[in-house]
Each structure stands twice: as C-alpha cells, then as structure tokens.
C-alpha cells in the first residue's frame, strides 16, 4: 500500500500541487464546478480588462498583477488575497496578466497539464478533454514523451531581440546587456525578486524580473516587447515618458538606481553601507584626493560610483595645447583610464586649504577607485555640451576583451593577486547618427559567441567585429567573484 507521503508526492507531480489534486481527482459535481469556474475566470481575463475595458493586452494597462478568485470571481491585489482565502477557504486565484493559477495554500503558482488542455480546447470538448488520465495508463503517451522530450536547443538561447516600441532603442540596449549578464541571470531566474510578493507600486524590479522570465521562457527566436518595463520607467521618471530621444547611459543609471530601490532591506543613503544585491553588484566607490601645493595637506572624499565617465578627447586636447607631439594615434581605453586617474592641477581660487587657514591655494587633485563593482560600466564621453554648441565626438577608441583594473585603484602597486582585478568584456553599446537623431545597438557575449542586437534583429558576429566598433558604453564583468577585491 502506498504511503501518505508517496501519494502526496504523486499528486503534486501529476497535478501541480496536492491541493489542486484534491479538486481534480474526485469525479463528481465539485470537480466539474471547479473546472467550469476555472474556465470562466480564464475567459473573463481573455475578453476584458479588470476595469471592464475591452482589450486583450492586459499587461499594457496593469504593471501590478491582480488575482481573480476562481471560486467566486472577486478580484484582489496581492496583499488582499490571503485575507480572502482565510475568510472563505478559497484557495485558487488566476493572475491577471499571464492567467497563471496561484495556490494560496502553497503560496506559489502551480501548473496542471489537464487544466491547460481544458482551457485551450473548443467549448464542445472541454469537459471530455479535462478528464485526467494517469500517464501510466497509456503506453502510447509514454512512447510519445520519450520520442519528443528534448532539451531546449542551445542555438536558440540568448538570441531574442527586443521590438522597438517607438524611440526605445536606448532601453533595448541596456536591457539586452542585463539579460546577457550571468550574475543577473542567476539572481532573477533564481527567485531573487518575486513580482507576486512585491508590494511596491509600479515596481521597476518587477518589470525587469518579468523581462528575464519572458526572455527565457520559450524556444522562439523572434523578438518580444519589454512593455511593462517601458511603462514602469515612464511612471517612475516623467523625463522618460514619451517617445523622444533618450541617452542610454542616463537610462542605465536610472535603471540601476530603481533596481537598488526595489530590493527589500536596501538603504537609501549610499554612505550607510548598503549590502543589498544590486548595491554590491553595480556600485563601487571613488576616492578624490586633493593635495595642497603649499603645505602638503591632503583632503580625501569618497563617493559612490555606478560607472566611470572617461574623456575620449584628452590626447586631442593636449595636442591642441602643445602638450603632445608626433603623429595622431587612436585613443585607447587604458589611456582614458590613465588620464582619468592622473593628477590634475587646480588653480588658486578653486581650492581652499584647511591647513593654510582656509585660504585659496593651488592644489593637485587625483581620482582613484576605492572599491570596484562586480559589473563595471565605462562610458566613453562622446556627447559634449558647451555654452555655444552641443556635439557628438566621433572616432574609435581601442578597448580590450579583458582588462586589469588594479593600476587605477587606490593601491596600484600593492602586491596582490592581479587575477582578482581582471574584468572581461560582456557588452558594447554603440550610438550611430547625430546627437539629436541617432540609434543605439549593442553587442553582447553569449557564451563563446558574440551577437549583435539591433532592436529585434539579431546577427552573429566575430570578436574582431566587436573590437572594431565605435563604442559608447562598455560593460565588463569581474572574472572571478570568489576572488573579488574587498
């Protein structure tokens, strides 16, 4: 005789959960009524929005899910669902966007193959199809499954584009960068942020989590639309709302900040030592040291950094001022980092030295990286704005597939394991066109292969293709998290 435990496990394996099994295994009026109620809830969500408006794209109107009680058809938000279940004993709810079934007793979504067949069948045969037959009762079923059950083709992983929803290429390139990052995949696909448990209105973290689920949920190679993320971004920032041109770098900063804010237990002030996942992943720390040329007094300040903005015209500016000789050379990423961390002379009047009684003094300023993040974004400053003109700086900057960041830290000469500071290129964002009318596309690493994502168009490319582009944003990943610098 089978034990209670084995029956429970069998029910859960066959029906999604034991609570659903108790509803579907008993032939009779109660089982038929549950199936009819399930179908009614499904059809109602397919026909109309929860506010009564007629449309099938429910997700375009609601960023936060609503839950329809299968038993009584009442609609609840996430926080009210449990109270209704405790009061009435109604356990099952249908989520408004995907129409997935949620079991309140399990506090999780459940999947039942029989119910899926039931709601996808024609009305004439729904009741006959819904009669569940045990898998072991049919050798034909077993033969079919064994012949057709294969893993998802590797060639189709990570090659889904994103539809442009109207001047949204800036969002697409940043989202593609996140979708192809192994650290973020581990977080979002490993239940790092649960939309059905989140109570934050218009949560950007929920929208990003749903994008990861959509991106990885099927074998289709065609593109998909990140509509919820777009709407959440618009609602979180009025400056982003609408279809005007946006800067991909600014959107990256916005998105990281909102992801940080969506994490339970995060701290608002960056100086308070937040230890949330996104703070540790995206945020580093930059130290500024100002040394008085007269008395040698050093003033140090530390600020959070989510990226490094590097001047790509340093060599040209030096040449124009007579500071460089010889033929022009292609700027390099290492050269930009060296310029960024090199001492800079400050004229009198800019710095008041406390060691000299607060009087204006000439001084030397130097920036160094105090703490490196796991995901390092570097902006190559191509957009210049002055009082007279705004223009885009064209031209290629050489960048490597791997880079050692130790020379640009506060301890560049320390005797440490240099492998702890090695970063590998993961994405390169390119801007083509003029300042006021351009287009973004991105190169992302997928395993050992590089792919070009131009909205919903995806093309396989070589490493040489990637290294030859006029990059605007470069994303590097720390090679080994286990040996990350403190």
For residue 124, pLDDT beyond 80:
no
In which element (H, E) is residue 411 found? none
- pTM for this model (two decimals): 0.67
Q: Are 298 and 291 in contact (CB under 8 A)?
A: yes
> For residue 45, what are the CA distances in angstroms to 53, 59, 79, 100, 115?
11, 11, 20, 11, 16
Round to whole Å and give the CA distance between 410 and 395: 31
pLDDT in tens, 271-310: 566 778 888 899 999 999 999 988 989 999 999 999 999 9
3-state class of 98 per DSSP? coil
If you average pLDDT over every residue of the chain, what do you get? 79
Q: How far apart are CA 345 and CA 323, in angstroms?
A: 15
User: What is the DSSP secondary-structure string of 105-147?
Assistant: TTTEEE--HHHHHHHHS-GGGHHHHHS---GGG-HHHHHHHHH
> What is the SS3 assignment for 320?
helix
Identify the residue with better confidence: 181 or 385: 181
Helix H or strand E segment including 364: strand 359-371
- The terminus-to-terminus CA distance of the chain in angstroms comes to 58
| Helices and strands (H and E) in the chain: how many | 16, 19
Task: Give the mean pLDDT of 334-349.
Answer: 88
Task: For residues 154 and 149, give the distance between their C-alpha atoms in angstroms, rounded to a whole number.
Answer: 15
> 3-class DSSP state for residue 159?
coil
Task: For residue 452, report the phi and psi dihedrals to the nearest 5 degrees.
Answer: -100, 120
Summarize pLDDT for 349-396 with one digit per residue, the tens.
788 888 888 888 889 999 999 999 999 999 998 776 555 556 667 778
Q: DSSP of 187-198, one letter per residue?
A: HHTTTSS-GGG-
- The full set of domains in the chain, from first to last, is 1-41+64-120 (3.30.40.10), 166-260 (no CATH), 283-476 (3.90.70.10)
């Amino acid at each position: 005789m089978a034990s209670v435990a084995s029956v429970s496990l069998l029910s859960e394996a066959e029906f999604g959960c034991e609570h659903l099994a108790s509803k579907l295994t008993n032939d009779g009026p109660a089982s038929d009524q549950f199936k009819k109620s399930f179908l009614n809830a499904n059809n109602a969500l397919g026909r109309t929005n929860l506010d009564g408006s007629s449309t099938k794209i429910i997700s375009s109107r609601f960023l936060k899910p609503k839950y329809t009680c299968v038993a009584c058809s009442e609609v609840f938000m996430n926080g009210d669902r449990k109270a209704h279940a405790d009061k009435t004993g109604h356990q099952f709810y249908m989520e408004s966007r995907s129409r997935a079934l949620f079991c309140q007793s399990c506090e999780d979504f459940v999947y039942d193959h029989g119910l899926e067949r039931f709601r996808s069948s024609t009305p004439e045969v729904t009741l006959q199809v819904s009669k569940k037959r045990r898998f072991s009762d049919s050798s034909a079923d077993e033969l079919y499954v064994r012949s057709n059950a294969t893993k998802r083709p590797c060639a189709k992983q990570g090659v889904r584009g994103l539809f442009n929803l109207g001047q949204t290429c800036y969002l697409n390139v940043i989202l593609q960068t996140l979708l192809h990052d192994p650290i973020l995949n581990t977080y979002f696909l490993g239940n790092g942020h649960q939309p059905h448990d989140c109570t934050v209105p218009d949560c950007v973290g929920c929208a990003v989590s749903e994008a990861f689920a959509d991106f990885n949920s099927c074998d289709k190679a065609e593109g998909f639309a990140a509509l919820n993320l777009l709407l959440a971004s618009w609602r979180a920032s009025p400056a982003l709302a609408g279809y005007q041109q946006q800067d991909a770098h600014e959107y990256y900063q916005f998105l990281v900040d909102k992801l940080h804010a969506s994490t339970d237990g995060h701290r608002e002030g960056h100086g308070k030592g937040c230890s949330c996942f996104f703070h540790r992943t995206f945020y580093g720390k930059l130290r500024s040291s100002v040394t008085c040329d007269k008395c040698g007094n050093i003033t140090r300040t530390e600020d959070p950094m989510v990226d490094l903005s590097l001047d790509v015209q340093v060599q040209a500016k030096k040449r124009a001022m007579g500071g460089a000789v010889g033929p022009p050379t292609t700027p390099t990423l290492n050269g930009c980092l060296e310029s960024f961390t090199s001492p800079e002379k400050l004229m009198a009047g800019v710095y008041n030295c406390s060691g000299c009684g607060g009087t204006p003094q000439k001084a030397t300023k130097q920036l160094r990286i105090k703490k490196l993040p796991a995901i390092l974004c570097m902006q190559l400053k191509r957009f210049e704005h002055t009082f007279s003109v705004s223009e885009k700086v064209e031209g290629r900057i050489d960048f490597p597939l791997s880079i050692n960041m130790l020379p640009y830290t506060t301890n560049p000469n320390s005797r440490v394991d240099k492998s702890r500071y090695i970063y590998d290129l993961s994405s390169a964002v390119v801007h083509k066109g003029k300042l006021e009318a351009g287009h973004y596309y991105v190169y992302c690493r997928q395993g050992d292969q590089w792919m070009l994502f131009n909205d919903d168009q995806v093309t396989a490319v070589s490493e040489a293709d990637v290294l030859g582009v006029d990059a605007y944003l470069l994303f590097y990943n720390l090679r080994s998290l286990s040996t990350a610098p403190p």
